[in-house]
Chain A
Amino acid sequence: MSSPLERPAELSSPLPVQILLAIFGCFLVLLEGAFAQWQVFFASAPLLVLAYVFYMNLFFANQLSILAVFLIGLFSELMFFDMLGMSATALVLSAIITRWRSAVLIHSDFLEIWSAFSLIVLFYASFKISVYAIVYFSFPDLSDIFLQAGMTILLFPVFYVLLVSAASAGQFMARRQMDSKIK
């Protein structure tokens, strides 16, 4: 039996891809913050990270782990000085629900995916409102939250197309690389 150092490296490990996808999630957090600087999106920037987590857990659940989702949420909280743990837990719960529904949704048409995402957005907002209400004994400005949820739901098709294109491009490149290796 050879020692671990003598064995060849595991080149097909999903870890690098998982790390890259988690970093991309963190980049989306920063982009969300940048969008918040637009007057239209003040206090109601579209939830790009939630859309990303939903998409990844629906189609590539093994590429974005729950821990990565939690860390992305935590990063968002640290960057926006948000209540610690609230967004991270909400994102993790959303990811788990998406995984649970993915077996049904993966073969559905876009309208069904869109409506499922809308429900996830509503769940995410309700969870955060509930935690906020428990912690502060008051409610935040609901109009901003509804605006944020509405914007996220409305912009989801655009984001979905971008993610599908990116995933197709990634798969195409991976296939080309594999073909060249076989040759």
Chain B
Amino acid sequence: MAGRTGRTRATQPRRFYHLLIILIGFVLIFVGKADMLAVRTVQTSVSGIFAPLFDVVAAPVRAIETMFEGMRTVASLREETVRLRAENERLKRWQRRSEILESENRQLRTVLGAVIPADRQAVTARAIAAPGSSFSHTMMITHGRDKRIHRGDPVVTADGLVGYIIEVGKRHSWVLMLSDVNSRIPILLSTSSWPGLAIGQNSDMLSLSFLPLEAEPKENELVLTSGHGEILPPGLPVGRVARGGGRDFYIQPVVDLRKVAFVSILVRPQGDGRQDIDGFADFFTPLPENDDKRLLEGFSPKDVLQ
């Protein structure tokens, strides 16, 4: 009886200690959700410190993958040659077609007087950490403040948009991929020109939301960034429209996010006065501050009340 009481007394502090740790865990969940600057700074610093170690650990694992890839390639070499020949032929046809289109495009631009904005420069970086779970689709890349990367800079591949920078360390940055649940990209349907929002769902497809009621997106229609909000430049390919059930539309990203190894970050050139998304946050007000002065163009609140 005495032994049992003693054991109970001994387990009580341990139970309390376990409960305390679980409680700290739950508090951290809410602190993390609050998206506080201090937490983000700690997160960036810690991942920045251990990022080179990540690279070292990943190197042999990458080598094993390359070895498997090589073995698979050797096994299917004959098939691959036939496929590549056919693809080569098709590409040559496309090249001719693109040359014709390019010349036509150039002529049209001269007519319209359009100028391609040269306000971005590409910085190439290597992805060193891919999403490890389905709960967060973020990616760590080499280069940070050392290459003038800022929060909000778009990250692309030759196919289109991968995501945008959310955290910048000294030599590493974090990319919020299109597919992450926190990602919201203002988009434009390329053919019908309807604006909308591409929302990540932590899955292969993005949800196409906030479309006007009369919008009728076409299956396989190209979706581009609209440039609204001035964070992402307009015209970057995001994906293609896929129809769900009823009025539900989805976007299949043009970039295969599973195969991203190298990316380009479109940074602003040195001396560009514009700020990153932190700067925009200071100026953003959801409602006009002096709404008694500018309610409607040509009216004052007094006129409306009368």
Binding site for B on A (CB under 8 A): 27, 30-39, 42-45, 66-67, 70, 73-86, 88-89, 92-93, 96, 128, 131-132, 135-136, 138, 140-145, 148
The docked-state distance in angstroms from the alpha carbon of A43 to that of B177 is: 12
Within the complex, the shortest CB–CB distance from A129 to chain B, in Å, comes to: 9
- Contact among B53, B65, B132, B204 with A141 in the assembled complex (CB-CB below 8 Å): B204
Indicate if the CB atoms of B18 and A66 lie closer than 8 Å: yes
Known: A36-B130, A96-B18. A141 touches B62 (CB 8 A): no
Indicate if the CB atoms of B135 and A140 lie closer than 8 Å: yes
Task: Output the residue of A38, A76, A128, A142 with the most chain B CB within 10 A.
Answer: A38
B275 located at the interface, meaning its Cβ lies under 8 Å from any Cβ of chain A in the complex: no
Indicate if the CB atoms of B61 and A34 lie closer than 8 Å: yes
- Contact among B60, B138, B257 with A81 in the assembled complex (CB-CB below 8 Å): B138
Dominant secondary structure at the B interface? helix
**Contact partners of A89 in chain B: CB under 8 A:** 22, 25-26, 28-29
B258 located at the interface, meaning its Cβ lies under 8 Å from any Cβ of chain A in the complex: yes
The docked-state distance in angstroms from the alpha carbon of A66 to that of B174 is: 30
- Contact among B32, B54, B181 with A140 in the assembled complex (CB-CB below 8 Å): B181
Within the complex, the shortest CB–CB distance from B157 to chain A, in Å, comes to: 15
Indicate if the CB atoms of A37 and B134 lie closer than 8 Å: no
Indicate if the CB atoms of A85 and B26 lie closer than 8 Å: yes
13 cross-chain CB contacts under 8 A: A30-B50, A31-B57, A33-B54, A43-B133, A43-B134, A80-B131, A81-B47, A81-B138, A81-B167, A83-B29, A89-B28, A135-B33, A140-B202
**Contact partners of A81 in chain B: CB under 8 A:** 43, 47, 136, 138, 140, 167, 174
The docked-state distance in angstroms from the alpha carbon of A133 to that of B26 is: 14
Within the complex, the shortest CB–CB distance from B94 to chain A, in Å, comes to: 26
> Which B12-64 residues sit within 8 Å CB-CB of chain A?
17-18, 21-22, 24-33, 39, 42-43, 46-47, 50, 53-54, 57-58, 60-62
Indicate if the CB atoms of B25 and A92 lie closer than 8 Å: yes
Known: A33-B132, A42-B130. A92 touches B21 (CB 8 A): yes
Within the complex, the shortest CB–CB distance from A127 to chain B, in Å, comes to: 10
**Contact partners of A131 in chain B: CB under 8 A:** 29
Indicate if the CB atoms of A148 and B26 lie closer than 8 Å: no
The docked-state distance in angstroms from the alpha carbon of A180 to that of B53 is: 36
**Contact partners of A141 in chain B: CB under 8 A:** 134, 201-204
Task: Output the residue of B134, B201, B259 with the most chain A CB within 10 A.
Answer: B134
**Contact partners of B27 in chain A: CB under 8 A:** 85
**Contact partners of B54 in chain A: CB under 8 A:** 30, 33-34, 79
Indicate if the CB atoms of B22 and A92 lie closer than 8 Å: yes
